[in-house]
Structure 1
């Protein structure tokens, strides 16, 4: 992992999991919360965009037919 990527991931975690400052009864509870949040994030990334099939098969992006974006 490059330095830039690791810094980006640390920034992401700070912005999304550490603000506002988390409060937990113990470090175990805090770690469990972080693990749950990271697992949910990983699942969301692995699935990809909801409209991936439409974009691939329709030839457009996000359900918009190819060439129609200029007319919006």
Structure 2
């Protein structure tokens, strides 16, 4: 299975969103965290086992006390 190359994604994020990003941390081979100038942050995770599975967590607690989460896993008949 092909693993998502986070280094490529991080380069794209740095290039396209440089004006609103403070820093980016690579947390693991399949996860990175983006810190924004508004004091929010975004965790992005990709599965190492399930193709095309990802999730994100955008925390804006210091701005308006909100958190946005998404996990794209599909559950059918109780099975992942």
Q: TM-score, normalised by structure 1?
A: 0.33
Q: Which has the higher strand share?
A: 2
| Bigger helix fraction | 1
**Quick check: which has more Rg, 1 or 2?**
1
Of structures 1 and 2, the one with the larger relative CO (CA 8 A, separation 6+) is 2
